[in-house]
Amino acid sequence: MRAIVLSIGSELVSGLRLDTHSADIAREVSALGLEVLRHETVDDDAAAIAAAFSRAAAEADVIVATGGLGPTLDDCTRDGLAAAMGQPLEIIPDALAHLEAWAKARGRTVSESNRRQAFMPRGCRALPNPVGTACGIGCRIGRTEVFCMPGVPGEMALMLSDIVLPSLRAAAPGRVTRVRTLRTFGLPESTLGEHLSDLMAPRRSPHVGTAVHGGLIDVHIYATGTPAEVDALLSADAAVIRERLGSQVFAEGHESLEEVVAGLLLRRGATVAVAESCTGGLVAARLVSVPGISACLVEGVVAYSNESKIRTLGVPPELIERYGAVSEEVVRAMAEGIRTRTGADYGLADSGVAGPEGGTPAKPVGTVCLALADAAGTISSREILTGDRAHVRERATNFLLDMLRLRLV
Amino acid sequence: MRAIVLSIGSELVSGLRLDTHSADIAREVSALGLEVLRHETVDDDAAAIAAAFSRAAAEADVIVATGGLGPTLDDCTRDGLAAAMGQPLEIIPDALAHLEAWAKARGRTVSESNRRQAFMPRGCRALPNPVGTACGIGCRIGRTEVFCMPGVPGEMALMLSDIVLPSLRAAAPGRVTRVRTLRTFGLPESTLGEHLSDLMAPRRSPHVGTAVHGGLIDVHIYATGTPAEVDALLSADAAVIRERLGSQVFAEGHESLEEVVAGLLLRRGATVAVAESCTGGLVAARLVSVPGISACLVEGVVAYSNESKIRTLGVPPELIERYGAVSEEVVRAMAEGIRTRTGADYGLADSGVAGPEGGTPAKPVGTVCLALADAAGTISSREILTGDRAHVRERATNFLLDMLRLRLV
């Protein structure tokens, strides 16, 4: 089965916003064994949308589209699709019922502009959207199956995983392409590539590739064949990679570093408290992204000022004067301070020069100090991280979470 | 003049890598006054590339392509372009001279695989690449002007700015397309669309459209004409929109909500402290993303547990027992508590049911309570936010930052 991915939005065509949906959709659709022929990105213009649907329907068995389903007048995916199908727009009862339920739950009535979202080309079915007003659209153009999803990221992700992918999975025959992902932290990409160079040779099957996301390196293994063949190939490669990379591999699949850390804490019934300076709340926020974390996360303190480090974490002022706020001495005192203050099993702390200003020859921008205190004592490290302010903070967050992970495994 | 942007690469079509070049190119090309019709992303496959070039040449005056010019066997933009032009591949002397000079400067000879890069369709000119082995390709398919650039980011950026854009600028005199963006928070997209429905009418010029990102709604105004005409059109529309939306507009262009809030705090010499429950550090982390925030952000506390709300923020336990942790009563006490504790001018607090578990009929998932305490007293609100856990937390963060913004303006 051949698929074309369609993104609709003037802000995408003009380059004002980066289209990330097409890549996400293509990855998921490829994993089901479909061949993605291409992506197209077109304007919020009914004629352009109609032409894109017609062009894609002439070549592909499946079209997966996003965007242009909102309530405002510039949202005209409905109109373009109707033109490509040669069908009039009409109220689709399921879509209207969804809007009415949505409004009722909020003590409102359906506004005139929201009502636009109940109109779809005749013969379409409304795809449920549990988290937004825009239902998706399912239909056919000739023999080509079409799915239209809203462009709002959370709504798209849910509709893709819950409706579009299961429907495509049911339609895809015998052979599959599957990807297995080992998530790693700690090695530079080039070093990791050297460890895996034989597996990453061009035209080897399975295909092994690396991709950097948020300072973490994912190793993807792609295999095609019958489900049983594919699983055997993937397992064999995964075992080799795990053996070579050891504890650098922190998860498989989509599990995040914070989910792994939260899982380890929960299994041990252990608690943690976090004292953050340069990460400014990111470590706590990453942990809080995991449902159920309240059992483990006692408290976080964003001690961005020296005043806060001294008053709330009990860091001796003379330590800051002597070594500076960005020093292993100070982060050790912060980690011990938050642990003492809260009674948590583990105290974590960081302090760093995130930039763009504040660097010195001794402590250049990117210098980050990290510490972990527990019943066994306190460990600390100093890293020089590269990238802009956001990158340095994100990487520092990964380093601190990984410090706790390595202590817990 | 109408342009189509073409990206070539299997890693892009499969979604393994995100295509950022198309957006960058579209932005630059639009700024010259060209109308970008669409982007296409196609595989490293000569037939698919040929079809894409032919399709684009039938509609556009200009094609700007990237990728597939490397030395390895999977790079076949040259072959696809040759098929679309109906010309054979032959050695282009300028491209060969470039390769020879490149190799000589490194004390090598031109390898067989690099030699592939000197072959181009007959009639093409080599576009110089000062930082890589791959020359670009300039040619025509019928009357359509074609530019092919390497996909390596640094090489693409330089060739775009130094060769492609100057050439297009010379061909498109006088007229430009510019966009102005007003960033808003507080109105649902449908309501905002009703306020602006006359401006958003299809085929109106300037074109006005909305896009939702991270719970904020951007209003984009696009105008085309001479620079003076465009500036007048954009200013007129921006003034109308600002008048209709009032304080809902928080910024122009790329400025973020946290940058606006930080700017207001800095100008007033005011300080803030944040007590976060459901946002779990996101509010502090957003503020810390702004360089120089240390002058304003005194402290953040992630009081995700009741224990922490009571011990660190001084919330009376009976308030939590009586009203629950997610209540306006408790967030008011949290905001006052963090303000008293730190001496900050403004105390912010939130508590909510981010989900997926924890909802009740009285407090469904998405219920978020927010409070701001300052010298004038304490204000609070209760919102029902939609979306998954990440969305609810992101939107709650926006609400709390906006509460402070509205207090400061």
Instruction: Look up the ipTM and state it.
Output: 0.75
Say yes or no for a CB contact (<8 Å) between A55 and B55: yes
Q: How far is B19 from chain A (nearest CA, A)?
A: 8
Tokens coding A118: 């109940």
A164 against B172, higher pLDDT: A164
Tokens coding A402: 């990984």
- The total of other beta-carbon atoms located within 10 Å of residue B148's CB is 31
Say yes or no for a CB contact (<8 Å) between B197 and A113: yes
DSSP state of A198: T
Would you say A371 and A216 are in contact if contact means Cβ atoms under 8 Å apart? Answer: no
Q: A193: part of which helix (H) or strand (E)? A: helix A189-195
Residue type, A233: L
Question: Which residues are bridge partners to A146 per DSSP?
Answer: A63, A139
What is the pTM for the complete model shown?
A: 0.76
Average pLDDT over residues A216-232: 87
| DSSP output for A298-345 | EEEEE--SHHHHHHHH---HHHHHHH-SSSHHHHHHHHHHHHHHH--S
Tell me where in chain A the CATH 3.90.950.20 domain(s) lie: 257-408
Average pLDDT over residues A15-30: 92
Only one residue has tokens 């990102």, namely: B213
Whole-angstrom distance, CA of residue A96 vs CA of residue A103? 11
The dotted CATH code for B257-408 is: 3.90.950.20
Say yes or no for a CB contact (<8 Å) between A284 and B289: no
Whole-angstrom distance, CA of residue A379 vs CA of residue A348? 10
Average pLDDT over residues A259-276: 97
- The total of other beta-carbon atoms located within 10 Å of residue A310's CB is 17
Q: How far is A124 from chain B (nearest CA, A)?
A: 23
pLDDT of residue A203: 66
pLDDT of residue A202: 64
Instruction: Give the residue ranges of chain B where pLDDT is below 50.
Output: none
pLDDT of residue A194: 82
B217 Cβ contact list (under 8 Å, min separation 6) = B183, B184, B185, B187, B189, B192, B210, B211
Q: How far is B237 from chain A (nearest CA, A)?
A: 16
pLDDT of residue A193: 79
Collapsing DSSP to helix, strand or coil, A124 comes out as coil
Q: What is the per-residue pLDDT across A108-140, written as a single tens digit (0 to 9) for each?
A: 889 888 899 999 999 999 999 988 889 999 999
Q: How many residues does chain B have?
A: 409
- Which of chain B's residues have a Cβ under 8 Å away from the Cβ of A221? none
- Which of chain B's residues have a Cβ under 8 Å away from the Cβ of A30? 14-15
Say yes or no for a CB contact (<8 Å) between B19 and A23: yes
- Which of chain A's residues have a Cβ under 8 Å away from the Cβ of B304? 284, 288, 293-294, 297, 299-300
A171 against A74, higher pLDDT: A74
Judged against a pLDDT cut of 90, whether residue A47 lies above it is answered with yes
pLDDT-derived band at A173 (thresholds 50, 70, 90) equals low
pLDDT of residue A212: 66
Q: What is the per-residue pLDDT across B120-178, written as a single tens digit (0 to 9) for each?
A: 999 999 999 988 888 999 999 999 999 999 988 778 989 999 999 989 988 776 778 78
Only one residue has tokens 């709002």, namely: A152
- Which of chain A's residues have a Cβ under 8 Å away from the Cβ of B354? 288, 291
Q: What is the per-residue pLDDT across A321-346, written as a single tens digit (0 to 9) for each?
A: 999 999 999 999 999 999 999 999 99
pLDDT of residue A21: 95
Residues of chain A with pLDDT > 90, as a percent, come to 72
Average pLDDT over residues A88-102: 95
pLDDT of residue B350: 98
The residue among B387, B225, B396 whose CA lies nearest residue A285 is B396
As separate numbers, helices (DSSP H) first and strands (DSSP E) second, chain B gives 16, 17
Would you say B71 and B117 are in contact if contact means Cβ atoms under 8 Å apart? Answer: yes
Whole-angstrom distance, CA of residue B206 vs CA of residue B231? 11
Would you say B315 and B337 are in contact if contact means Cβ atoms under 8 Å apart? Answer: yes
Would you say B297 and A304 are in contact if contact means Cβ atoms under 8 Å apart? Answer: yes
The dotted CATH code for B2-171 is: 3.40.980.10
Tokens coding A335: 């980690």
Tell me where in chain B the CATH 3.40.980.10 domain(s) lie: 2-171
Closest chain B CA to residue A275: B301
| DSSP output for B90-145 | EE-HHHHHHHHHHHHHTT----HHHHGGGEEETT-EEEP-TTSS--EEEEEETTEE
Say yes or no for a CB contact (<8 Å) between A23 and B18: yes
- The string over B27-66, giving b where at least 16 C-beta atoms fall within 10 Å of a residue's C-beta and e elsewhere, is ebbbbbbbbbbbbbbbbbbbebbbbbbbbbbeebbbbbbb
The dotted CATH code for B176-252 is: 3.30.70.2860
pLDDT of residue A135: 95
Say yes or no for a CB contact (<8 Å) between B393 and A283: no
Q: How far is B335 from chain A (nearest CA, A)?
A: 15
Instruction: Point out the residue among B39, B210, B304 whose CB comes nearest to the CB of A297.
Output: B304
Say yes or no for a CB contact (<8 Å) between B40 and A39: yes
Judged against a pLDDT cut of 90, whether residue A223 lies above it is answered with no
Mean pLDDT of chain A: 92
Q: How far is A244 from chain B (nearest CA, A)?
A: 23
Tell me where in chain B the CATH 3.30.70.2860 domain(s) lie: 176-252
